């Protein structure tokens, strides 16, 4: 009998086919989410978890650094696998001023990070620590991690250039051969006009190509895939106030957007 193994994930956009794959459904179940939910946020969490798992990163002895963790479930998921996690988010006062606290999207400390109960509390408190970190000014002592991750965050750093700089700078937090996984907004309808500055920016294909160019110049490894999905949910665009059950693509400003994930391997 021939064993067919799934190809490893590369940098790519969110699609219905991937979210419905058995690999992603298994992560959705572990995240205590409704596995059939066709939502790009769920895709982002499953993508990050699957990318790290298939690179051997979700096991005891591994160290992970999360940026802008907010109220996401990944720090507790990774801690439950035995990973030593440093979870970070921006300074609480600054986050309050920017509206992240009022919308319940900011983590002020470790207490909110295991509220889904994905990790036994004693294990969580042993394996996970928290500190305030500005993604635009990563402290120099944050080095030597096996992996770094961020979900839905580097589009909020003020400009396209700030987002690109963050991805490049975060590679310095890794050991040689370490893995970075980040998800963000992808403007799928324009490779030209986009939101380039402000509270949320929208990355175009050419911006991801620029990220890859800069990472390659530093000796890191990244492969980009822009394959678009062709199933019904890939063609549905959710409109404000974004209440539809199907939410893989949405209209933001004048652009059709989705999520894009980046996986990069640090130079060894």
Ligand X SMILES: C[S@@+](CC[C@H](N)C(=O)[O-])C[C@H]1O[C@@H](n2cnc3c(N)ncnc32)[C@H](O)[C@@H]1O
Write out the residues near ligand X by the rule CB under 6 A: 68-72, 89-90, 95, 100, 105-106, 134-136, 151-153, 156-157
Minimum distance of ligand X from residue 1's CB (angstroms): 40
Nearest CB to ligand X, comparing residues 96 and 267: 96
Minimum distance of ligand X from residue 232's CB (angstroms): 25
Nearest CB to ligand X, comparing residues 51 and 152: 152
Nearest CB to ligand X, comparing residues 90 and 206: 90
Inter-residue long-range contacts of 163-168, CB under 8 Å, 24+ positions, other chains counted: 163/201, 163/203, 163/207, 164/207, 164/210, 164/211, 164/214, 165/136, 166/67, 166/135, 166/136, 166/138, 167/211, 167/215, 167/262, 167/264, 168/211, 168/214, 168/215, 168/218
Q: Which runs of consecutive H residues, i.e. helices, occur in 59-181? A: 74-80, 92-97, 121-127, 160-170
Nearest CB to ligand X, comparing residues 2 and 50: 50
What DSSP designation does 59 have? Answer: S
Minimum distance of ligand X from residue 71's CB (angstroms): 6
Minimum distance of ligand X from residue 41's CB (angstroms): 7
Measured at CB, which residue is nearest to ligand X? Answer: 70
């Amino acid at each position: 009998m021939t064993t067919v193994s799934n190809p490893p994930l590369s940098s790519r956009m969110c699609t219905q086919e991937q979210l419905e794959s058995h690999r992603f459904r298994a992560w959705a179940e572990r995240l205590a989410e409704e596995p059939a939910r066709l939502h790009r946020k769920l895709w982002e969490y499953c993508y990050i978890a699957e990318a790290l798992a298939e690179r051997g990163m979700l096991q005891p002895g591994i160290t992970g650094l999360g940026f802008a963790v907010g109220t996401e479930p990944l720090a507790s998921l990774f801690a439950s696998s035995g990973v030593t996690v440093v979870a970070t988010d921006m300074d609480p006062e600054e986050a309050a001023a920017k509206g992240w606290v009022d919308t319940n999207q900011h983590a002020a400390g470790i207490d909110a990070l295991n509220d889904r109960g994905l990790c036994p509390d004693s294990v969580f408190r042993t394996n996970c620590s928290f500190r305030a970190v500005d993604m635009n000014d990563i402290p120099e002592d944050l080095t030597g991690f096996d992996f770094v991750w961020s979900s839905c965050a580097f589009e909020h750093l003020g400009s396209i250039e700030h987002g690109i700089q963050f991805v490049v700078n975060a590679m310095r937090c890794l050991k040689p051969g370490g893995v970075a996984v980040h998800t963000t907004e992808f403007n799928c309808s324009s490779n030209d006009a986009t939101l380039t500055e402000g509270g949320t920016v929208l990355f175009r294909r050419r911006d991801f190509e620029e990220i890859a160019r800069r990472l390659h110049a530093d000796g890191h490894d990244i492969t980009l895939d822009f394959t678009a999905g062709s199933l019904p949910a890939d063609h549905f665009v959710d409109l404000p106030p974004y209440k539809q059950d199907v939410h893989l693509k949405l209209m933001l400003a004048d652009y059709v957007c989705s999520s894009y994930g980046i996986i990069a391997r640090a130079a060894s």
